[in-house]
Amino acid sequence: MEFSIKSGNPEKQRSDCLIVGVYESRKLSSSAEALDAASGGFLTAVLKRGDLDGKAGSTLLLHSVPGLLSERVLLVGLGKERELDEKHYRQAVKAAVKAVNSCGATDAVSFLADLSIKKHDIAWRVAQHAEVVLDAVYKFDCMKGKAAKDKKADAPKGIKKLTINVVSRADIKPAEAGLKQGQAIGAGVSLAKDLGNLPPNVCTPTYLADQAKALSKSHGLEVQVLDRPEMEKLGMGSFLGVAQGSRQPPKLIVLQHKKGKKGQKPVVLVGKGITFDTGGISLKPGAEMDEMKYDMCGAASVLGTFKAIAEMGLPINAVGIIPTCENMPDGNAIRPGDVLTSMSGQTIEVLNTDAEGRLILCDALTYAERFEPAAVVDIATLTGACVIALGHHLSGLFSNHDALARELLAAGEGAQDRAWHMPMLEDYQGQLDSNFADMANIGGRAAGSITAACFLSRFAKKYDWAHLDIAGTAWKSGKEKGSTGRPVPLLTEFLRQRSAKV
Ligand code: BES
Ligand code: MN
Ligand code: ZN
């Protein structure tokens, strides 16, 4: 998709399709008003007939509107003018793109970024516009066969060029900065989605390592991949315990983006990279087990975020650490009752082999210490309990440092990729007591997402740390099954805010 910024009058644009907003009760936005005037009241007349009421997300495609140079006009409902907020704005942009993309137009000019939304400037509106467009046109069809590809050749080509209009020439510069940012985040989200959607027989730990190497080559990052012998030397007994049940060799991927001041402490992102989670010997039930290919979405979000910040050239030092392996049942797999010794020296009684995410993350958190981090954020599809607590709208946020938690919450708000601060009191730690080791890897059914976070906190004592449980937000199930690319927007915004501060 090719994007550009322009400042011009709607009635003078020559394009396959113009996109303008209409508020509820048929009130025209100012760009719609301009088209209405140029067409001798054509829009007002159509709306009077009752074809569109302006409800957020509704659309109406008009052809051959008199007095215009463009072939089509897409009217997009915005909801009540007073209530136009981030959510309605994104909804309107999404509906517009879906409609234009299937109508036969290959280029369009959007006037939606001209709308005013409380608390947000033109750069934000353009960035969000670009992000929502890229999200809406995303497709994953690389695994479809020839017949499906032939069929696709007959369908409308879809939109290739989108111009985002701004009201004044003074808006062009900030709009271009917003566009660059939106495109970078869009690219990061797409990468995260692709990696998540790939089948687990393709997206193995080795594949993820290769992707990390390719990304560092194309985007100027440093990369290092540790193999089993090196991890053995480091004493990563917990991570390697999980990995021992799989034929696929485990990898520890370390990415570095060094665009901050020399000596500036890095922010470290740690992503859970279980490329398939069968549960191991504590085998999961069969229903929907295919979705456990998404158990590497934390890892994918780290790679996606590094792609985004590299494309933005963000002046910050950042390290990405990805422990990746499969969780399989096997003659050599770990058993319930096994005791593992983590890299930190703490021992862990494995009471359930399906609580494997924390077992690989704990060694990665210990490994993170060597970077003397300013902060560490881990991202993981960690617990089904988090889905029960928060559903699919919010990621769970846990932290040992309130200021860091507030930063991440604010980044989630700004990026419209929100999280919710969950409690992580000492009181819960007792649920991890073990009769045989320093701790157990599960804490019972009650507060499952909290006890998982408590487990991780025992390995994150040496720095400011936060944990994002993305089990409910990283992918969608059902008819729209697919990766969401979350929380790449949150993480990128978090790093952008940090880079602006120093
Ligand atoms: N990857 C799963 C968590 C998960 C389950 C995410 C379903 C999204 C949907 C994780 O490894 C896991 O299996 N967790 C267990 C922990 C339990 C054994 C304490 C869970 O949530 O059931
Ligand atoms: Mn599991
Ligand atoms: Zn898992």
227-269: per-residue pLDDT in tens?
999 999 999 999 999 999 999 999 999 999 999 999 999 999 9
Does the N-terminal peptide bond of residue 336 adopt cis geometry, omega within 30 degrees of 0? no
Sign, Cα dihedral of 67, 71, 76, 82:
negative
- Domain boundaries in the chain? 2-167, 186-501
User: 278 alpha carbon to ligand 2 midpoint, in Å?
Assistant: 7
pLDDT at 154: 81
For the cut 70, the answer to whether the pLDDT of residue 502 exceeds it is no
Is residue 358 part of the annotated active site? The answer reads yes
Is residue 80 part of the annotated active site? The answer reads no
Mean pLDDT of 139-164: 90
For the cut 90, the answer to whether the pLDDT of residue 98 exceeds it is yes
Q: Which member of 258, 284, 462, 476 is catalytic? A: 284
CATH of domain 2-167: 3.40.220.10
CA 371/CA 269 separation, integer angstroms: 11
pLDDT at 155: 82
Residue 143 CB neighbour total at 10 angstroms: 10
How many angstroms separate the Cα of 164 from the Cα of each of 120, 190, 456?
16, 21, 44
Cα-Cα end-to-end distance for the chain: 34
Structure tokens at 368: 């993170």
CATH of domain 186-501: 3.40.630.10
Structure tokens at 75: 């009217």
Contacts of 502 (CB under 8 A, 6+ apart): 260, 261, 264, 316
* One fold for 2-167 and 186-501: no
User: 60 alpha carbon to ligand 3 midpoint, in Å?
Assistant: 44
Q: Which member of 193, 358, 458, 486 is catalytic? A: 358
